Amino acid sequence: MKASEKFKTVIENYLNETAQSDTVFAQNFSKASKNLEGCFNYIFGEVKKTGLCAFDDSEIFDMAVKYYADDRIGQPQPVQCRVVVNQPEKADLFTSASEVPQNSIVPKTEFPALKPASKTLTLFDL
């Protein structure tokens, strides 16, 4: 799978910024056995394992950092997928929120009343 250019750029910029600010990660980032294409394939493989289709930026960035930090992760196999990078929609203050259906009433369940406890004393109560 070839990642979209926007996806590649965002991940690469994040990793470069993290390497500049964190000396420990900079050592991991410069490993010869790790590369960006392998990082993308690792991210795609992890996303595929979850079965979900939408992730927050921080989750993807954490996967990228983990790929470089964990030496047990080898060269992942390529995954056939399509990457879409979307920005959240900006809130519009002048349009109202969508209507919530009013038929979402939960039926009330009635429970049988408990019998009062017996007032008879036993030998053990004395």
Could you list the residue range(s) of the whole structural domain that residue 50 is in?
5-69
Domain membership flag for residue 13: yes
- The overall average pLDDT reported for the chain is 79
Domain membership flag for residue 14: yes
Beta strands in 1-125 (DSSP E): none
Q: How many domains does the chain have?
A: 1
Domain membership flag for residue 60: yes
Domain membership flag for residue 42: yes
pLDDT confidence bin for 20, thresholds 50/70/90: very high
3-state secondary structure 49-74: HHCCCCCCHHHHHHHHHHHHHCCCCC
Domain membership flag for residue 15: yes
- In the chain the first and final C-alpha atoms are separated, in Å, by 80
Domain membership flag for residue 27: yes
Quick one: what percent of the chain has pLDDT higher than 90? Answer: 10
Q: Provide the whole-model pTM.
A: 0.62
pLDDT at residue 1 is higher than 50: no
